[in-house]
Amino acid sequence: MEERRIQKKHKTGSVLYIILCFLFLYLPILVTMIFSFNSSKSLTRFQGFSLTWYERLFTDNEIMGAVYVSISIALLATVISTILGTITAIGLSKSRKIIKEIIINVNNIPIMNPDIVTAIGLMILFSSLKIEKGYLTMLLAHVCFCTPYVITSVYPKVRNLDPALANAAMDLGATPFQALTKVILPMIKEGIFAGVLLAFTMSFDDFVVSYFITGNGVKNISIVVYNMTRRTNPTINALSTIVIVVIMITLVVVNIVPVLTKKRSKKNLELEKEGIFISKNERLKKYTGIISGIILIVVIVLTSYAGNKETLKIFNAGEYIDPDLITEFEKEYNCRVIYETFDSNESMYTKIMSGETYDIIVPSDYMIERLIKENRLAEIDWSRLSNRDNLNKNIMGMNFDSENKYSVPYFYGTVGILYDKTVVKEDDLKDGWNLLKNTRYKNNIYMYDSERDAFMIALKALGYSMNTDKKEEIDAAYNWLIEQRVTMNPVDVGDDVIDNMIAGNKALAVVYSGDAAYIMAENQNLEFFNPDEGTNEWFDCMVIMNSSEKMILAHKFIDFMLDVEHATANSSFVGYTSPVEGAYQNMLETDYKGISSYTPVMGNKNNEIFRYQTAETKGYFADLWTKIKAH
């Protein structure tokens, strides 16, 4: 009696602990599911039930494309790696010891290596072989890391097989192929099944490898999620909820089916006893039928996806276009746009250096200068741009491309400090950029996660030119930034600054004037200013790469973006200042009425435009930046 009571007490504790653990594991999943039904965009406050995000999900081409890529790659990679892995495992058991050891050890590499090492190895391989990155490279990479798991699940089963079995089958007249399919495969099917399951999950869940080796706008779900985390978008929650539900159903089915088949095989056994024999062959045929059916569907979808429309490849910064405009352009010109995004000019450049090509890219001033110097751009044929007169003449002819031979303005603005009027004292603004070192605001600052902008701030604060190549000035700026990091503990953010500042999470943030406009329209407590010490006047422009073979379509796209109506839609969506005069006026009257930062304050004599840096200076900056980030 005593003992039982103790046991019971024990059990309550156990149950409690297990519940706590599951709560911990499932909390993020539950939150995701709940907020997928939220009527507002907030991920923190539930404001009512709605299915908006599900509707959005199914009309979102980017996400649906990613779902297609994730599923089709996972299916293909699973089929290929299962076949490859299974035949290897079968062959392995009978191979000479040395070959066996080589393969087993090599096979362990992708399992024991961190994802990121596998990923960069493949990235280097594909780049140096000049294989165009995209669907095929992603598939190859997935087969690369899935096959080892299949082999490790199948091989132990093969090893436990009695070798006499296959020989017996062959002695009885079976060909080696028949012995394989009729004797060996059925004996190891559990291992194969485990391998299939593992391969599919590994492939479906993969982010790191796909992220490094993808290209040509091919994205799986993970990559889309990664790109979207910068800005709140509950469509992802809707997607995850669907994924979670599908996985739960699959797992339940997978766990119930064996129970059912067990029952059925018992029945078979009974039938056999009664003399009715269901041939194994028939079942095998059924399986092959299902598998080939899946492959067929995948191939059909694949071909229809590729299509034969003319394509235009565009490379733009993340969250920097109204996606409806792309759809509209595709419809109007009956073409397909492959739209890829980058998170900084530097990463854009690295991508191009690794051999990727595009028709249109949208880089900033100094990067345009660099691309011109390196002869990577094609001249713009202005006569093909019927909307050219819509452009604001005041922001043309800048020093990076003085005659606009290569570049057509897209957005422009400055960099400044966004501050919370209720927290920051008006008096402190006199400090200019050194406001970012005012310890009153310690732990209360977002810095923009960009090498050139960070150094610009420090150099301007110290009274130097932001285009300096003097080592002592750069070193001084480096020390300024390190000191700021130590004393102020700022957080480096990218586009996530937008949601964070709208929510009012911190008092100060370094932002582009356009982001400031977007944020201020949502949060009335904020104001924006450009320090007197000068700032960066930046110009993002559309340029055409000279490798492009779609000159006519590329010009049509540029012209399309210069149309007043389209430019208005784009500026409204992104929040940045449009170089199209009509669009700018429209915005001043509507979305950004009374918002100061929508009109960039240009013309301070201390303001500069970023210039192209020599390889040496660039390397020097990059090194210091890595150190700052690592500090």
Partner 1 sequence: MKHYTKLVRPYLIWSLLIIVIPLLMIVIYSVTTGGNTLVNIQFTLDSFKKFAEPVYLQVFLKSLQMGLITVGFCFFIGYFLAYTICKFSEHAQNYMILLVTIPMWINTLLRTYAWIGILSDNGILNTILEKLGFSSISFMYTDFAVTLGMVSDFLPFMVIPIYTSLSKIDDSLIEAAHDLGANNIQTFFKVTFKLSIPGVVSGIITTFLLSVSTFVIPKLLGGGQYMLIGNLIESQFISVGNWNFGSAISVILAVVILVAITIMRKIDPEKTEDE
Q: Which two tokens stand for residue 129?
A: 């072989």
The C-alpha atoms of residue 586 and residue 567 are separated, in whole angstroms, by 10
Nearer Cβ to partner 1, position 447 or 477?
Answer: 447
Residue in the structure block whose two tokens are 């050194």:
434
The C-alpha atoms of residue 281 and residue 161 are separated, in whole angstroms, by 21
In the complex, minimum distance from the CB of residue 59 to partner 1, in angstroms, rounded to a whole number: 21
In the complex, minimum distance from the CB of residue 32 to partner 1, in angstroms, rounded to a whole number: 5
Q: Which strand (E) or helix (H) includes residue 586?
A: helix 581-589
In the complex, minimum distance from the CB of residue 442 to partner 1, in angstroms, rounded to a whole number: 12
Nearer Cβ to partner 1, position 120 or 551?
Answer: 120
Burial class of residue 424 in the structure, from the number of CB atoms within 10 Å of its CB (0-12 exposed, 13-18 middle, 19+ buried): buried
Nearer Cβ to partner 1, position 107 or 536?
Answer: 107
Neighbours of 71 (CB within 10 A): 17
Nearer Cβ to partner 1, position 113 or 303?
Answer: 113
Sign of CA dihedral 371, 412, 549, 346: positive
In the complex, minimum distance from the CB of residue 153 to partner 1, in angstroms, rounded to a whole number: 14
Q: Which two tokens stand for residue 107?
A: 């096979």
Sign of CA dihedral 63, 69, 71, 72: positive
Q: Which two tokens stand for residue 275?
A: 């003399």
Nearer Cβ to partner 1, position 166 or 385?
Answer: 166
In the complex, minimum distance from the CB of residue 225 to partner 1, in angstroms, rounded to a whole number: 5
Burial class of residue 414 in the structure, from the number of CB atoms within 10 Å of its CB (0-12 exposed, 13-18 middle, 19+ buried): buried
Nearer Cβ to partner 1, position 347 or 590?
Answer: 347
Beta-bridge partners for 608: 536
Nearer Cβ to partner 1, position 109 or 302?
Answer: 109
Angle at 249 between CA 244 and CA 250, to 5 degrees: 95
Check if the beta carbon of residue 433 is closer than 8 Å to that of residue 531: yes
Q: Which two tokens stand for residue 506?
A: 């911190």
In a 13 Å sphere around the CA of 445, the CA atoms on its Cβ side amount to: 22
In the complex, minimum distance from the CB of residue 345 to partner 1, in angstroms, rounded to a whole number: 9
**Nearest CA-CA partner of 407 in 369, 374, 373:** 369
Check if the beta carbon of residue 199 is closer than 8 Å to that of residue 146: yes
Nearer Cβ to partner 1, position 244 or 462?
Answer: 244
In the complex, minimum distance from the CB of residue 478 to partner 1, in angstroms, rounded to a whole number: 12
In this structure, which amino acid lies at residue 72? Answer: S
How are beta strands 445-448 and 335-342 bridged, if at all?
unpaired
Taking each continuous run of H as one helix and of E as one strand, the counts in the chain are 25, 10
Neighbours of 530 (CB within 10 A): 22
Nearer Cβ to partner 1, position 151 or 580?
Answer: 151
CA 261 to chain centre: 41
The C-alpha atoms of residue 533 and residue 604 are separated, in whole angstroms, by 9
In the complex, minimum distance from the CB of residue 100 to partner 1, in angstroms, rounded to a whole number: 8
In the complex, minimum distance from the CB of residue 134 to partner 1, in angstroms, rounded to a whole number: 17
Nearer Cβ to partner 1, position 203 or 577?
Answer: 203
In the complex, minimum distance from the CB of residue 185 to partner 1, in angstroms, rounded to a whole number: 12
In the complex, minimum distance from the CB of residue 301 to partner 1, in angstroms, rounded to a whole number: 22
Angle at 449 between CA 223 and CA 510, to 5 degrees: 125
How are beta strands 360-361 and 335-342 bridged, if at all?
unpaired
In the complex, minimum distance from the CB of residue 619 to partner 1, in angstroms, rounded to a whole number: 8
Nearer Cβ to partner 1, position 20 or 300?
Answer: 20
In the complex, minimum distance from the CB of residue 471 to partner 1, in angstroms, rounded to a whole number: 17
Nearer Cβ to partner 1, position 54 or 333?
Answer: 54
In a 13 Å sphere around the CA of 101, the CA atoms on its Cβ side amount to: 2
First and final C-alpha spacing in the chain? 62
Nearer Cβ to partner 1, position 218 or 408?
Answer: 218
Q: Which conformational region is residue 340 in: left (phi greater than 0), alpha (psi within -120 to 50 degrees), or beta? A: beta
